[in-house]
Every structure is written in C-alpha cells, then in structure tokens.
Amino acid sequence: MKFPNHLNHIAIIMDGNRRWSQLRGLPSLAGHRAGLKSMHSTGEYLGNCGLKYLTVYGFSTENWNRAPDEVEGLFQLFTETKGVSGFAIWDASMNSPKMYSWQ
C-alpha cells in the first residue's frame, strides 16, 4: 500500500491500553507495553508504505491523576522507545503551560 502524495502525516491517539490489561487480569503497565508494541508495528508498516510523519498521542492530562508508579512506568516506556526522534508533553492544566521534551 502506498499513500497518496498529499498524505504525509498521520496522528494516532492511543487509548484503552489499561482497559486491555484489566480485562486480562494484568497490571496496567502490561497494557501500556502491549500498546507500545502495537504502535511499533503500526509505525513500521506506515513507514514502509511511505508515510513521512507519525504523531502519537500517548499521554493526556488525565494521566497525571493515575497512580505515581503507573505515571513513572509510562515515562520509562517513553524513554526506552526506539525509533522515536523525541517526545514532548504539554501540560495545559498548569497556570503557565510548559513544554517538556526529551531527545
């Protein structure tokens, strides 16, 4: 499959990884790992199809309300992710929004 020339960027919102793990009686982080694995294969497929840019939304402001160990685990997964040029988190709930980024 090849994308039309005018299509060079797709954005995906990851959702449901924790529900997936809960339905299987697994810890939340297992669901996040499974979602990340799925996102890797999706990214590879899209890249092989000629897509230039893929934006993945994997953390929302609601995620800050989760257990600290789950939030820490998500950040650890982000930093371990291979093939990613960087990621950023913008926390709009702050009085003065800040951009956090890692390379």
Dump pLDDT digits (tens) for 21-65. 999 999 999 999 999 889 888 888 888 888 888 888 888 878 889
- Of 48, 63, 69, 91, the active-site residue reads 63
Asked if 63 is an active-site residue, the reply is: yes
- Of 15, 48, 69, 91, the active-site residue reads 15
Name the nearest CA neighbour of 57 among 92, 21, 30, 25: 92
User: What's the confidence (pLDDT) of residue 91?
Assistant: 52
Predicted TM-score (pTM) of the model is: 0.72
Question: In sequence order, which residues have a C-beta less than 8 Å from that of residue 78 and are 6 or more positions away?
Answer: 58, 59, 84, 87, 102
Which structural domains are found in the chain, ordered by start? 9-102 (3.40.1180.10)
> What is the rounded distance in angstroms from the CA atom of residue 101 to the CA atom of residue 86?
7
